[in-house]
A = this chain, B = another copy of it.
């Protein structure tokens, strides 16, 4: 019982930082997207493909979250997109204060689309608002069709759910229909995209949806300066 007030205080403090982040993003005309998944579902691969195929009218940057290494930021920088690595140590999720610090150190001049790759974890990241406009979940179909029922929060909170690695469906014994039904049972409004970063299958539908969403959310840049 003693842990409830502690958790409440931590989440309240997080919400304050998230609101400050959100104000800053709006002032600068930046749309922020929080990419979440279990480890190894393919967030970085999705980002690589998305950033390569996104309309040149967008100007993206990436904040990467990882426990220890800079491997993911290295991959993003290798395709010519600015990337900043947050290493969380033992912390299993990003929180809004980490993002607040990062955007004070990471130059976002000229950036209109900030992709945030969360730590790989199917539970905790969904509890922490980072100040983002869109939440995108990447799910590896190989993890099984029943997981939306077992880990509902992230599925429930995501605007889009990418079902990645669909090229492995014939070998993994997973029913995409059952998986989609389970996602929709938890979140009837989710936009669902079966994709494969290895074969490119389905990515154009996802990119089209993302482009339309960014156009809708795009706000006029009002001011700049780290607040």
Contacts and interface: CB of A to CB of B under 8 A. Distances in A.
A40 B123 CA distance: 13
How many copies of the polypeptide does the oligomer hold? 2
A122 B142 CA distance: 16
Interface size class of A (residues with CB under 8 A): 35 or more
Contacts of A71: 146, 149-150
A120 B121 CA distance: 9
Nearest to A170: B171
Contact of A40 (B127, B140, B171): B140
Contact of A168 (B40, B144, B151, B171): B171
A168 B169 CA distance: 10
Interface in A107-156: 119-124, 127, 140, 142-144, 146-147, 149-153
A79 interface: no
A149 B40 CA distance: 12
8 contacts: A6-B6, A68-B149, A71-B149, A90-B123, A121-B124, A142-B142, A168-B171, A173-B198
